[in-house]
Structure 1
């Protein structure tokens, strides 16, 4: 009966007491030792829009309990403050209108001046009670000051929300606030009308690690994560997943470090997407349906997370699976049918985080499962994309390749649009390039020797390979000018070196009179008639591509000695030796091995060389040498 009276009084209080526009000091009114006799408090509005109520009271003895009642016409955050005493600890408790205890905390021994927050809490509108009691230390007539600060807000938790049946309903894409304990979980409920991607953010805290759980409508756990100690209180993503339409719950507690009345904030971000995985899809029986030729997205939450997809193949089909390849994660992908007559396991390589061709699948009509899980590397909330398409089995057309010379540094041509063009030299693929949307391709190459065979083929996105195009590098570099060995007026061959296997041409005047082919070492030899000394012979080479070298010329050297000179009579009185020889020839006169003198014949071959007078019967030898230093035989005369 007493409790019924208290509830009726509280209901009357809701309608008769509201926020005040003027701050009022209050004092407890004894006997306020029960809910039914609680001192009524009024919250006064501050200039900053918050509300405050301050009351002074006295704990008369260890059995004295002081109760206060106040009303909140709107939801918001309540901060309960009390001054501290050197010799006394107080117990401060918060109750709802049903007299159910929501919070219970104790003050510390302290001589600091002023009031200090004992606890904070988010509350719904309604009537509440505060009790101040003796807890420890001195209990004889201990004065205290109780202060309530209230901020109206729709984004604070509303106690009592300690189980799913009392969960606070929250909106999506909105930041909410609460106070966590290790023993008193906070539950929140939210509804998703469409399938989509869910990202749940929770702040970090330098003093506390939080635990957050995502639950299904019937309370089954989908995800559990723990925050780390942080240097700030910023929101950070803790859960990333996909959900089907329905009701879900969040459960938040303080896990480690400071565990009592720790403030937190969180946000449930939602983006509608019919093609995002829908948890719980961790088994065949919960596999998500996957349509062909449709891009799906999902998240591998941890190393033991398995995402199952079910696909119906209506007929025998050539399929290709495309998959994201992260730079720091490798996936295990298992594809199988219900009878396991087809069962294959594949492992992805590290990539560049883009969607790319993963594997070709040739499947018979039937139902298949695709199971994606973590294999290696990073395993914390790794997003992925996948797409199963009907594979193109038609190879691209053979690429067309523009001419390539030994001076080319670019290979270009046309191939199937967006295909990958491969350049192969010998047995090795040395370059790849992607044809643009118009089918044009071009990529840089090294310079190749003339005659080198280049093989070009294309592959489309399904891995089909075209026939190859083979081209030979065209030789556009002329051979070096031939080198010519000495040719004399007695030579019947002209020899030398030129580019290996080139054709060497001999030209006299303006007329080509002979040619021959250099061997594999570049040596050549051409039979010739004897040419007069001074004749100019010109040679050049042509390679198999028709490139012509520069010309090399040589003059036929004089290798024929002059006839022995004609010498006139020489007497003991002669001071000159005279005679006739080849024009401009050089004359040498010797006596034994001794050269007496030298001279030069004039343009008509006459010569006159001064000597000293010689004794009778002295033997003189006269020689003639031409411009090529060919020396005649000796003409012998005796001094008369």
Structure 2
């Protein structure tokens, strides 16, 4: 136990501390201040833990060698007749001394505990609560850090954040993953920033006491990222958290986060699949498809099921115009768009979940299968007369899908000469209650809706010269996996 020296009220008169010590000090009034200079004996580098205890409302200010303020610690909740505590761990001293200034709002006595310890190579280095003082992360290591100070919930802007940075100095594309260990009672989040300090992701999956993770983010050559470990509820812990940082080679079969913007979209090729994950709540994965064929392409799009995830698929063109939105299934189901026709151009597929689901382990598969040119299948989007597919009376049976809730398929029938008697039969899958409607232009001519699920519906009508439309729909059912069939037969003309 050491008593503070008198007349330590300025930087020039600061009391030098170079070893582990407990200081008994006093503040005479709110204008009094005590200065200490921290400089480890026999070494140029050290970690210092500072603990300040008092019954008064006190604060510690930390200054660098040039007397520039680098951190203020004033977060303890002060209650009457009880001891308050200000604390910082892993305060880094690297070759030059650090000064601290102790003040209080009223006269008091205090106890200042100063603990010097060797520098750990893989540990946060306080102060690291801003980009400029971020601690470096090394690949394939676990870095220790502390959720300190505790913070006063009644004060604004007092949440604790530790900043880290990491770099890919090579010319090789890679990927990185980060895992933050769980800490009882502490509610954490991770914020990821690119080299220009623009925020690109917030990972806030778990409640208090849960871990946070992000996996397989893209790590371009000669790139830098920043990471903020945020203590949301300002709970403290004497135990350190563990921040695991790992890298791996680029894998073109993975989505490669961040792909939550068009300019970062993962390109998907025909007859290929990409694996991805719903990494955090609100995560959006964007895939890009380039159709180079002059005649366009017919594709089948599918997203596999992940237990407890309720996926939503949205498709747009390069001008952000919506083509289709799919949200058929519930939790634990996949989504699919059968027989989608895409003219020449660039298209984007946005994938996310409607429920608060995330998984660092379970992966989905995004597949784009080329179907080739076929005259016996519908091509979406044929959901209006203007987009109707051609139907040849008496020709090959047509195959189509009620691919999502509310899907309607339109077929165009042209009668060029004499009137034609045409019979049309729809053969649906077992879960579809199919409905047929026949139009002459925009005028409804006939409806077939007599049977139930899995039962055929049929119409027979004499079609005079002109353009007719057949509408195929269902009663609140859909089946993107199993098609219906349309069979036509031509009778004798009148």
TM-score when normalising by structure 1: 0.46
Q: 1:334 to 1:139 in 2, by over 3 A?
A: closer
Question: What SS does the corresponding residue of 1:251 show, helix, strand or coil?
Answer: strand
Corresponding residue of 1:211: 312
Cα pair 1:302 1:380 within 8 Å, conserved: yes
> Aligned partners of 1:176 and 1:65: how far apart in 2?
32
Corresponding residue to 2:341 among 243, 253, 258: 243
Corresponding residue of 1:572: none
Q: Is 1:101 aligned to residue 101 of structure 2?
A: no
Residue deviations 1:54-84 (CA, integer Å, cap 9, x gap): 3334566466633222328666664322344
Matches within 5 A, 1:122-521: 122-126=216-220, 127=223, 128-137=225-234, 143-152=240-249, 153-164=251-262, 166-172=264-270, 173-192=272-291, 193=293, 194-205=296-307, 207-217=308-318, 218-230=320-332, 236-246=334-344, 247-258=346-357, 264-270=363-369, 271-275=371-375, 276-292=377-393, 293-302=395-404, 304-318=406-420, 320-326=422-428, 328=430, 329-338=432-441, 340=443, 343-347=445-449, 349=451, 358-375=458-475, 378-381=477-480, 383-388=483-488, 391=490, 393=492
> Aligned partners of 2:397 and 2:264: how far apart in 1?
39
Question: What SS does the corresponding residue of 1:174 show, helix, strand or coil?
Answer: strand
Corresponding residue of 2:166: 69
> Aligned partners of 1:299 and 1:76: how far apart in 2?
41
Cα pair 2:309 2:355 within 8 Å, conserved: yes
Q: 1:359 to 1:139 in 2, by over 3 A?
A: closer
Q: Gapped runs of 5+ residues in structure 2?
A: 1-119, 152-159
RMSD of aligned residue pairs (Cα, Å) = 4.0
Corresponding residue to 2:143 among 45, 48, 55: 55
Cα pair 1:27 1:56 within 8 Å, conserved: yes
Cα pair 2:128 2:134 within 8 Å, conserved: yes
* Bigger Cα displacement from structure 2, 94-103 vs 68-77: 68-77
> Aligned partners of 1:154 and 1:140: how far apart in 2?
41
TM superposition shift of 1:36: 4.4
Residue deviations 1:22-67 (CA, integer Å, cap 9, x gap): xx96444566554345444443xxxxxxxx2333345664666332
Residue deviations 1:185-206 (CA, integer Å, cap 9, x gap): 332222444442514132231x
> Aligned partners of 2:361 and 2:310: how far apart in 1?
10
TM superposition shift of 1:374: 1.4
TM superposition shift of 1:167: 3.3
Residue deviations 1:505-536 (CA, integer Å, cap 9, x gap): xxxxxxxxxxxxxxxxxxxxxxxxxxxxxxxx
Q: 1:358 to 1:64 in 2, by over 3 A?
A: closer
Cα pair 1:180 1:186 within 8 Å, conserved: no
Instruction: State the structure with bigger RCO (CA 8 A, min sep 6), 1 or 2.
Output: 2
Corresponding residue of 1:35: 131
Q: Which protein has the larger Cα radius of gyration, Structure 1 or Structure 2?
A: 1
* Bigger Cα displacement from structure 2, 30-39 vs 248-257: 30-39
> Aligned partners of 2:229 and 2:404: how far apart in 1?
47
> Aligned partners of 1:308 and 1:161: how far apart in 2?
35
> Aligned partners of 2:208 and 2:429: how far apart in 1?
56
Question: What SS does the corresponding residue of 2:180 show, helix, strand or coil?
Answer: strand
TM superposition shift of 1:171: 2.5
> Aligned partners of 1:213 and 1:145: how far apart in 2?
38
Cα pair 1:180 1:254 within 8 Å, conserved: no
TM superposition shift of 1:174: 0.5
Q: How many residues align?
A: 348
Q: 1:95 to 1:278 in 2, by over 3 A?
A: same
Question: What SS does the corresponding residue of 1:373 show, helix, strand or coil?
Answer: strand
Q: 1:83 to 1:117 in 2, by over 3 A?
A: closer
TM-score when normalising by structure 2: 0.58
> Aligned partners of 1:130 and 1:223: how far apart in 2?
34
Q: 1:76 to 1:202 in 2, by over 3 A?
A: farther
> Aligned partners of 2:303 and 2:419: how far apart in 1?
43
TM superposition shift of 1:163: 4.3
